[in-house]
Structure 1
Amino acid sequence: MKHIVKGLLVTSLLITGVTAKDESKVKEVKTVSSVTVAQDIQIFTSANEDGKITPATIEEAFTKAGFFISANRDMNGPFKKQFKETTFDVYNLFTFYSKKETLELVKKYPNIGLFSPMSMSIYTKKGDKKISVSSLTVEAMANILKIPADDTTLVKVGNMVKEALKLAMPQGKFETLPYRVQKLTGEQVSNYKMEMDPDEWEDEKESIQMEFEGTLAPNGFVMAGFNDLNHDFKEAKYEAYDFYDVYSICKLPVIYTVAKVHPEAGAYAPCSLYMYKKKEENMMHLAFPSVYNWISSMDIQDKESLTVLKEAQTRMENILTDLLEE
């Protein structure tokens, strides 16, 4: 019989014991006109009158910087097909990670799959002559992962991202967003655990993943990518896991709706959902970052965006709960 436990990452400062002073360390702080603004998302923008900077040239720069590119998807086609319009000349969702640094991080932080791969949006608004790339700051990722923001390897990854952006867009600069990060109104990460039979875990894994993948489309989700991180680990002679898989999950109405107001939303999309089991343990762990991070990081207030985000959160929670309780 399978047993499921859903664990909530509690964000209350009182419960976690994090003081207001400690929390300030996990935000990137920029000063504009003497006003200090904490930001979770960084947007790098460059003039692009000649159109020479493209998602393809940005991908090339990230590859040169040492990243493995999981996907670089043009979303304008799906936007036009499903919604008959788009507000962008360019809108790509880009997922990537560094195999070497992910291996170093997973040895300390098994939940690193929440951002392996990381996500970005690459966009140009209709009629604009500039191109922008959005991604999460190191501090924001550390806050969600509940790990030190000054972890050497994590900081290195953040620097690699900035170096890749500068390589791709030599005249680019970081923007300062016109809003503040807001207080979370829900859990940061949706966590699940399921006990596995020590002799049947391989069959159980296959069955669960087949059923999970089969439930995505009927619930409006798309599997935008799949990364077998344990394959990378084994190639590097690290064999602590029986499996470590990360799904990149996207729901088109969510990114279409939110991006109209917040094109930087691709810093969270597609969402990474991991499933892993360590050797010598009989527990499978699953988790994904909740939509409440989107709402908090981008100060989302419009009703349409809030509705599609919360609906997606509920649907994914129901999928996993039903799947693991069977």
Structure 2
Amino acid sequence: MMNHKKILGIVLLVAVSISGLFAAESANTENTVKKSTIIYTIKGNAEETYYTMMDKPIKALGYRLPDPRKHVNQVYKEQYGSTTLEVLSFMTIVNDKKVKPLLEIDPKLAGFNPFNLVIYKHQGKDETVISHLTADAIIEMLGITDQKVITEYRKQMEELDALVAKTFPSAVVSHGTYEGAVENAMMHYEITFDRPEDLDDYIDEIQEKVDDTFTEKGYIMAGFFDYKQGKPDLLPSYDAFWTFSLCHFPYSYTVFDNEGAMPEVAVFAPCTMYMYIKKDTNTLVIGMPRLANWNRFFTMNNSKRMDFLNKLDKDIPATFLEIGAIEVK
């Protein structure tokens, strides 16, 4: 018969082994290579086929294109005198019918809805690239943990990718990757206001204030999407819910075009800023992804791009404070 000391020693050994196993499993999970983007590379110039796909086929899936921006590279050429790109278009899309029920569970999902299904082609390269962020990368950046939201959002992305694959059957599919946890990826702010008898008065006022303040600082409101669309029965947990698509043209040209161009980073552009007011409250909630995510997933390839990113990542929070918002950690 074993004595008590020997039994205790075995128990401790097993406990330490199990603890080490869980620690190793946790470390392995943390260091697992994860997919940040899905990339379709198509031989030749696929621009026209892409635009055809972005009309009836993508709308048949339930997607809207609130503010499509075609031929961005031509605008770069007009404003800055040159471009290294033959094709660059920002096509922000949102499957609002499927996203709305998920926003009732977690409104942070609006941080990347609408999102960009970008297309680009470098001059002198006989290939076109179509790309977007993966559902899992979006979920991690937004800090979404509800399993229903995760499962349903993954399904939406799978449907979208099935359409792209069907439209471009010869495309070579690859993925951008990252390792480790994505931390401090989002900005969260709140504004407490005196609720008027007609809430639309405040909504009009704050939307105009946000637009004017950012515009004065050199930003462009490249898009707007109203999830409520003036219908009380849509998103019943909210009195108001909308997004702005925020762009800074000199910054985008610096990153996406010219020498060492990084148009692949345009999966993040334009940035989606969401704002909502929960039912019968007097608090406006604001959320937006940080520009630091761009470098986290792609790594800026020169100091000018990195310096510009850091500047705007400080300027945007300062602008939120200027419109009267308070940061919520």
Q: Distance in 2 between matches of 1:192 and 1:114?
A: 13
Q: TM-score, normalised by structure 2?
A: 0.81
Q: Distance in 2 between matches of 1:166 and 1:236?
A: 36
Quick check: 2:228–2:234 contact (8 Å CA) kept in 1? no
Q: Distance in 2 between matches of 1:23 and 1:107?
A: 30
The structure that has the greater radius of gyration is 2
Root-mean-square deviation (Å) = 2.6
Task: State the Cα deviation string for residues 9-37 of structure 1 (Å, max 9, x = none).
Answer: xxxxxxxxxx545556xx7xxxxxxxxx4
Corresponding residue number in structure 1 for 2:278: 278
Quick check: 1:38–1:181 contact (8 Å CA) kept in 2? yes
Distance 1:149 1:299, change over 3 A: farther
Quick check: 2:37–2:175 contact (8 Å CA) kept in 1? no
Corresponding residue number in structure 2 for 1:171: 170
Corresponding residue number in structure 2 for 1:68: 64
Q: List runs of 5+ in structure 1 lacking aligned partners.
A: 1-18, 28-36
Quick check: 2:36–2:178 contact (8 Å CA) kept in 1? no
Task: State the Cα deviation string for residues 24-51 of structure 1 (Å, max 9, x = none).
Answer: 6xx7xxxxxxxxx4331221111135x5
Q: How many Å apart are 1:182 and its aligned residue?
A: 7.4
Q: Distance in 1 between matches of 2:111 and 2:36?
A: 16
Distance 1:265 1:131, change over 3 A: same
Quick check: 2:35–2:136 contact (8 Å CA) kept in 1? no
Corresponding residue number in structure 1 for 2:12: none
Q: Distance in 1 between matches of 2:124 and 2:146?
A: 38
Distance 1:197 1:318, change over 3 A: same
Q: Distance in 2 between matches of 1:63 and 1:120?
A: 14
Distance 1:256 1:193, change over 3 A: same
SS at match of 1:314: helix
Corresponding residue number in structure 2 for 1:160: 159
Distance 1:127 1:63, change over 3 A: farther
Q: How many Å apart are 1:88 and its aligned residue?
A: 0.7
Corresponding residue number in structure 2 for 1:203: 201
Q: How many Å apart are 1:188 and its aligned residue?
A: 0.7
Quick check: 1:181–1:297 contact (8 Å CA) kept in 2? no
Q: TM-score, normalised by structure 1?
A: 0.82
Q: Distance in 2 between matches of 1:301 and 1:127?
A: 21
Q: Distance in 1 between matches of 2:62 and 2:163?
A: 9
Quick check: 1:183–1:296 contact (8 Å CA) kept in 2? no
Bigger RCO (CA 8 Å, 6+ sep): 1
Task: State yes or no: 1:307 paired with 2:304.
Answer: no
Q: How many Å apart are 1:148 and its aligned residue?
A: 3.8
Q: List runs of 5+ in structure 2 lacking aligned partners.
A: 1-25
* More strand as a share of residues: 1
Corresponding residue number in structure 2 for 1:84: 81
Q: Aligned pair count?
A: 294
Quick check: 2:67–2:224 contact (8 Å CA) kept in 1? no
Task: State the Cα deviation string for residues 113-143 of structure 1 (Å, max 9, x = none).
Answer: 1011011321111022221112101110010
Question: Which moved further from structure 2: 157-166 or 243-252?
Answer: 157-166
Q: How many Å apart are 1:325 and its aligned residue?
A: 5.4
Corresponding residue number in structure 2 for 1:120: 117
SS at match of 1:230: coil
Kindly report which structure 2 residues correspond to 1:224-243, keeping only aligned pairs within 5 A, or say none: 224-231=222-229, 234=231, 237-243=234-240
Quick check: 1:40–1:181 contact (8 Å CA) kept in 2? no
SS at match of 1:242: strand
Quick check: 1:246–1:273 contact (8 Å CA) kept in 2? yes
Q: Distance in 1 between matches of 2:190 and 2:29?
A: 29
